[in-house]
Amino acid sequence: MKTWKLADIGLFFKNSFVAVLKGEFLLRLNVGRYFIHIAYTFLLFGLAIWFSLIIETTLSKVEKNKAELKELEIVHAQKVFEVVEVSKRSSVEQLLERMGSKVQEPQQPAITVKR
């Protein structure tokens, strides 16, 4: 039985590394007949990684849009409050007086014109 030396292990790793760089590693392991399966497996792993990246990007966009939507809802509520505040009769009368307008609230009901 042959004993392993440290130099043999180093030589094995060196040869394996050179084989990987030359593209001969799988051929040296004699798995050429399984090459289609190996390529298919790498394709599936690549697709899984790509889909997970797409999903992650989409989810980050969704979270960003949710935050923006909350901010816009707050702005909308403030605008609605301002419109309601300005549309009160007393506020409108005060604004008209401040602007120097002679428009006032009608004293009599509107007259209906008959045809």
Residues 65 and 81 in one domain: yes
Residues 74 and 26 in one domain: no
What average pLDDT does the segment 89-96 reach?
78
What average pLDDT does the segment 11-18 reach?
88
Instruction: Indicate the number of domains in the chain.
Output: 2
Range of the domain at 87: 31-97
d(CA 26, CA 21): 11
User: What is residue 83's predicted lDDT score, i.e. its pLDDT?
Assistant: 84
d(CA 111, CA 114): 9
pTM over the 0.75 mark:
no
Residues 41 and 21 in one domain: no
Do 25 and 16 touch, CB atoms closer than 8 A?
yes
Residue 85 contacts by C-beta under 8 Å, 6 or more apart in sequence? 91
Among 2-11, 46-55, 69-78, 93-102, where is mean pLDDT lowest? 2-11
d(CA 32, CA 53): 32
Residues 25 and 54 in one domain: no
User: Does residue 85 come out as left (phi exceeding 0), alpha (psi in the -120 to 50 range) or beta?
Assistant: alpha
Average pLDDT, the chain: 86
Residue 110 in domain:
no
The answer to whether residue 90 scores a pLDDT higher than 70 is yes
Do 31 and 38 touch, CB atoms closer than 8 A?
yes
Residue 21 DSSP symbol: H
d(CA 48, CA 56): 12
Residues 17 and 39 in one domain: no
User: What is residue 1's predicted lDDT score, i.e. its pLDDT?
Assistant: 61
Task: Report helix, strand or coil for 47.
Answer: helix
